[in-house]
């Protein structure tokens, strides 16, 4: 017994050592590209978001993480779907038209403000100045893998740009409605790399060089920023008539960063969102690309950093966010959960009793019949047994031949029974004489009972055929 205890102690020590090693073992790095400003993993944007006030030249309170849809953030109300997709294109064409009316410059449709379209030149100058001065000037930043917008978001964002604001978007793929409205597209141009793992060191073995078109921002002439092939495979394809300025290209001259004018503002589109993540921002060979790209944005304006497309609304992860937001509802929820657990425990304990196994009742019909028959036989007179057999036989004829008032003393009844049973009338009369003989006899012997039983059985078989 002592040796067994030593074995148990050794196993417990080994188990404790294993738990300690697993607990203190360094966690493997998460190489997923989340682009979230709260993630300190290599492909998060925590570093860029922290230094953004210094880069944009604004106080830290002027940099705000937005957790609302674009429409709700810009318009201050819930998103409303337009009547049709053509309405979005119509408004963007009106905003980019060089001969736009004051209603267009304010983001209004011509049919929605006919009185504004008819004002004179002085009123037009005043409306134009109002759109430029009173509307708050902000810079909207997006760093996502995919930039997806609803029709209302597209309309609100382009109206925001047309009023004199700048929007910076770093993404690989864009919503076709938004890209077609501005007149560009993105597509991958490089082949599939030979990957061994997802770390940047392995990725940089299959890399691509990106260059800024402005030599004052790129430092040494011709210096290229090396990025992994996987994260820098998408290129921007502007339409032939698009008035876009290339700000960064690859070695073949394909654009990865462009500036697109729209109304009084600009839209900056970058197809390499990986350049704005923690790992590449902190690396000196690649960090300057992100800062150089952001240097094109106007300094001193408030900055809105979008997190809605990556994290959703504030508190949206919990389905019980309304209950958890108030102390009274939260306490009621916890009390309900505790009560439910206690109810389940006590009810389960009450009902978990051993259910006894009950044996099925035996079929004692044959035993009962034998007991009754033995009682009749002990008297030596079988008249009662014969009367029971005759009564059962008459009940059989009533049910089988549909004769509720059967009377064997009537000749018509005997003929009707013979016709329904399909037997001769003589057989019915012979059976009736046998029944009457037994009924009138003072005592029924074994032989007479046997003859009666045989006659009834044969007639029953004849009727059943």
Map residue 303 onto helix, strand or coil: strand
| 128 plus 214 within the same structural domain | yes
Last residue of a domain, one of 301, 316, 331: 316
Does residue 116 share a domain with residue 184?
yes
Q: Is residue 340 part of a domain?
A: no
Q: The domain containing residue 101 runs over which residues?
A: 46-316
Beta strand ranges found along 96-195 (DSSP E)? 139-143, 146-147, 166-170, 173-174, 184-188
* pTM more than 0.85: no
Q: Do 430 and 309 belong together in one domain?
A: no
Specify if 445 maps to a domain.
Answer: yes
Comparing CA positions, the residue from 27, 61, 33, 59 lying closest to residue 45 is 33
Residue 205 inside a domain? The answer is yes
In a shared domain, residues 292 and 401: no
Give which of 345, 359, 162 is closest to 267, Cα–Cα.
162
- Round to whole Å and give the CA distance between 461 and 465: 6
Say whether pLDDT at 393 is over 70.
Answer: yes
83-92, 135-144, 169-178, 353-362: least confidently modelled range: 83-92
Q: Are residues 72 and 192 in the same domain?
A: yes
User: With contact defined as beta carbons under 8 Å apart, do 309 and 147 qualify?
Assistant: yes
Q: Are residues 298 and 386 in the same domain?
A: no
- Is it the case that residue 236 has pLDDT exceeding 90? yes
Q: Could you tell me how far CA 248 lies from the centroid of its own chain?
A: 40
Number of domains in the chain: 2
pLDDT tens by residue, 312-332: 887 655 667 777 778 888 889
Res 99 pLDDT > 90 = no
Domain final residue, candidates 257, 284, 316: 316
Instruction: Give yes or no: residues 107 and 217 share one domain.
Output: yes
d(CA 463, CA 397): 9
Same domain, 240 and 302: yes
- Give the tokens for residue 225: 């920023």
Last residue of some domain: 286, 316, 346? 316
pLDDT for position 35: 94
> Using CA atoms, how far apart are residues 317 and 371, in angstroms rounded to an integer?
78
What pLDDT is attached to residue 388?
85
Residues 372, 307 share a domain: no
From the list 210, 234, 245, 70, the residue with the least C-alpha distance to 146 is 234
Q: How confident is the model at residue 86 (pLDDT cuts 50, 70, 90)?
A: very low
| Residue 277 within a domain | yes
The answer to whether residue 302 is domain-embedded is yes
Domain CATH number, residue 210: 3.40.50
- Is position 18 within any domain? no
Q: Is the pLDDT of residue 92 over 60?
A: no
Specify whether 270 is located in the same domain as 145: yes
Q: Among the listed ranges 308-317, 327-336, 441-450, which one has the minimum average pLDDT value?
A: 308-317
> Does residue 448 belong to any structural domain of this protein?
yes
* 64 plus 186 within the same structural domain: yes
Flag whether pLDDT at 294 surpasses 50: yes
Angle between helices 85-96 and 151-162 (to 10 degrees): 10
**Do 310 and 369 reside in the same domain of the chain?**
no
Residue whose C-alpha is closest to residue 426's, from 445, 440, 441, 411: 411
- pLDDT-based confidence at residue 119 (cuts at 50, 70, 90): very low
Question: Which ranges constitute the DSSP H helices of 225-300?
Answer: 278-282, 284-294
Residue 299 is assigned to a structural domain of this protein: yes
């Amino acid at each position: 017994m002592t040796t067994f205890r030593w074995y148990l102690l050794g196993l417990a020590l080994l188990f404790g050592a294993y738990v300690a090693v697993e607990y203190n073992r360094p966690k493997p790095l998460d190489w997923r590209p989340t682009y979230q400003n709260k993630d300190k993993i290599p492909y998060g944007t925590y570093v860029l978001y922290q230094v953004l006030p210094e880069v944009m030249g604004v106080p830290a309170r002027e940099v705000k993480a937005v957790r609302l849809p674009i429409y709700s953030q810009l318009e201050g109300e819930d998103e409303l779907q337009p009547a049709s997709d053509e309405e979005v294109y119509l408004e963007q064409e009106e905003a980019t038209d060089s001969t736009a009316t004051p209603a267009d410059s304010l983001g209004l449709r011509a049919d929605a403000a006919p009185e504004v379209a008819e004002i004179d030149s002085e009123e037009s100058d005043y409306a134009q100045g109002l759109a430029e001065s009173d509307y708050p000037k902000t810079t909207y930043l997006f760093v996502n893998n995919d930039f997806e917008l609803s029709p209302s978001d597209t309309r609100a964002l382009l109206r925001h740009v047309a009023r004199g604001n700048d929007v910076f978007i770093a993404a690989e793929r864009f919503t076709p409605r938004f890209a077609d409205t501005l007149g560009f597209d993105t597509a991958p141009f490089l082949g599939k790399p030979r990957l061994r793992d997802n770390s940047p060191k392995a990725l940089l073995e299959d890399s691509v060089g990106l260059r800024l078109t402005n030599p004052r921002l790129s430092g040494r002439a011709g210096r290229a920023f090396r990025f992994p092939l996987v994260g820098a495979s998408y290129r921007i394809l502007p339409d032939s008539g698009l008035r876009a300025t290339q700000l960064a290209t690859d070695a073949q001259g394909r654009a990865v960063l462009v500036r697109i004018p729209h109304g009084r503002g600009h839209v900056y589109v970058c197809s390499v969102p990986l350049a704005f993540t923690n790992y590449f921002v902190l690396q000196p060979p690649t960090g300057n690309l992100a800062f150089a790209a952001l240097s094109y944005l106007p300094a001193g304006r408030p900055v809105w950093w979008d997190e809605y497309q990556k994290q959703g609304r504030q508190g949206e992860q919990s389905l019980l966010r309304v209950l958890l937001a108030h102390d009274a509802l939260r306490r009621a929820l916890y009390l309900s959960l505790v009560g439910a657990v206690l109810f389940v425990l006590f009810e389960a304990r009450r009902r978990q009793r051993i259910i006894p196994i009950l044996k099925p009742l035996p079929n004692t019909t044959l035993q009962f019949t034998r007991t009754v028959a033995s009682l009749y036989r002990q008297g030596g007179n079988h008249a009662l047994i014969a009367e029971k057999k005759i009564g059962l036989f008459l009940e059989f004829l009533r049910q089988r031949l549909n004769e509720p008032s059967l009377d064997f003393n009537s000749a018509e009844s005997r003929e009707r029974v013979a016709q329904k049973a399909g037997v001769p009338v003589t057989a019915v009369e012979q059976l009736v004489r046998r029944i009457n003989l037994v009924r009138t006899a003072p005592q029924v012997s074994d032989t007479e009972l046997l003859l009666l039983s045989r006659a009834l059985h044969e007639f029953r078989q004849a009727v059943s055929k």
